[in-house]
Structure 1
Amino acid sequence: MTSSPVLLITGTSSGIGLATAIAAARRGFRVIATMRDLAKAGRLRTAALDAGVELDIQRLDVTDEEAVAAELDRIRGAYGRLDALLNNAGAGHVGTVEQESLDEVRAVMEVNFFGVVSVTRAALPLLRESRGRIVTVSSVGGVVGQPFNEAYCAAKFAVEGFLESLTPVAAGLGVKVTIVEPGAVGTEFVANVGLEETPAAFGTPYEDALRAYLARTAAAFDPAAAQTPESVADVIVDVLAAENPPARIQTSENARRFAAIKLSDLDGAHVQAVTRRWVAPAEA
C-alpha cells in the first residue's frame, strides 16, 4: 500500500512513455511502468537510476486481454488503489490500403485502438473508487487524416471518438478523461515504422506521392524541428496533477496550429489543401 498517487503507464520502453514515467516519478507518483517486451527495459532502468527514482516495471501487452486483467488485479493487490492511467502504448504505421493486407490494418487497430479500450475498461473499477483520471496519448493524426497513414489515423480517430464519448459518462462517476495530442516528436518513430526500409509502394503508381511524403516526414521528425519526448512528458504530468484537467490538449504550438485547421474547416477543403501538398512531387 502507498500514500502516493498510483499511476499506470503503458508503453514505457522508449520515447514519450519512458520520459513520462521518469517525470511522473519525480513529481511524486508511484509509477507502474509497463511494456510489451521486458528485454527492452534497460533504457528505462538506467534512466530511473540516473534520476534517482523507483519504478515498478512490469510486462504488459495491451492486446492481451487476460494479461491486462491480471495486471489490474495485481495492482489492486499490491497497492489497493489506482489513481491514474496513462494510455501511451501504440505503434506507428505507414502504408496505403491497396498496398497492404487487411491483417496489417487490423493489427494497427488492435494496438492503437483496442489496446486503449482494453486497458481503460479494466482500469475503470479502480479509477471509479479513487475518483481518478484517464489520460491517453493520441496524436494530431487523430484530428487530421494524413496521407499514407490511413490505418494509423483511423485508429487514432477511433481513440478520439471513444474517449470524447466516454468523457461525460466517466465524469458523472468522478473520473476525469484527457486526450493528449502531440505533433512530431523526436522519438524512434521513423525507425519503428520502417521508413528507412524500402516501402512496398515503391515501383507502383503510388511511388512519387510516397517519396514526397517520406521527404516531408523526415524533415518534420528531424530532432531540430520535432518536439522532445521530455517536453511532451511535462505536459502530460501537468495534466495528471491538474485539479481540473482539459478534455483535450495539444503538446506544442505547432500541434495546436495543426489541429486548429480541422476545427475551423467545416467542408474539409482546408485540410485537403494542406495534405495534398505533402504528396506533391517536388518540381525539377
Structure 2
Amino acid sequence: MPGPLTEAQIADYDSQGFLLASSLFDADEIELLRRSAKEDKRLDDHAFGRDDGEGGTVRLSVWNHPGNGIYGAFARCNRLVQRAEQLLRDEPYHYHSKMIMKDARVGGAWAWHQDYGYWYGNGVLTPNLVSCFIAVDPATRENGCLQVIRGSHACGRVHHQLTGQQAGADPERVAEILKRFELVHVEMNPGDVLFFHSNLLHRSDQNHSENPRWSMICCYNAKSNDPYKESHHPRYTPLDRLPDSAVREIGGQRFEDTDVHQNDSQGQSMAWLDPNRDASATSLKPTSKDANN
C-alpha cells in the first residue's frame, strides 16, 4: 500500500491547493466501488438533481456519516484518513460524502465555486477542510473532468451567488483570478484521488460524451474546526478508522451476501441527506450577512 505523504507532497498541496495521488486505489478496489454504486438502488433512490444554470442538471447523492458498507470502507480507510490528517495537521472527522453521477450525454455542469463558500454558513470558522475526489470512471475533458485554478485557495473566501440551483463564486472575481492563476483540467483514471483545499476554486463542464463520469467525494473537517452551530452536516464526530484491507473485504461481502436486509441496514447507517436539507449549495440569500462581505 502507498505510504504517507512526503514533506514535498504536503508542500505542493500547501502551495497549489491540491494534490493528485495516482492509483491510490487499484483496479480491483475501484471496480468494487464502481459496481456497487451503479447497482445500488438505495443510492439511486436518494439521488437528486441540481439545475446548473446552463440547461443541464447535476445528479448526486449525499450522506453525512460513512456507514459500514463499501462507501464507508473508502471514507474510513487509512489511505484517505491518514492523508487528510497530514494535510489538515489535525484529527480529521467525516464531514460528509457524496456520489456525483455525471451520466453520459446528460450530466450537468458545476459552476466555479469553493467548498468553503458553501460551508462557511454552516458555522465552520476556518477553511481547514479537505475534499478527496475519487475517480470512479475515467475523467476526461470530453466527459466533464474537474477543473481547478492552481493556487486560488490563497485568494481567501470569495463571495458566492446563486446560478440556477447552485451557488457559484462571483464571476467577475473569478475572471480576474483566471488572469493571474493557472487553469488546470484534472484528467484522472479510475482509482486516482485528488485532494483539494476547501478554498480552491473548481468547476466542471457538462458531459456531452458517450462515457459516464461518476466520482465519490469524501470531505473531512479538522477536529479543532468543529462548527460552532448545528447545520445539515455534522459537528465533530470521532471517525472509526479502518485498515486499507477493509476496502476489499467489505466490498467483496457486498456481492457475496445475498441477504438484502443486511445491505439495507448498511445503507441505513449512512445518514442520507434529504435533498431539501442540502442547503450548502442553494441557501444563499441576498439579504444574508454573507452577501455583504
What TM-score does the superposition give when structure 2 sets the normalisation length? Answer: 0.27
Q: Which has the higher helix share?
A: 1
Question: Which structure's CA Rg is the greater one?
Answer: 1
Q: Which has the higher contact order (CA 8 A, sep 6+)?
A: 2
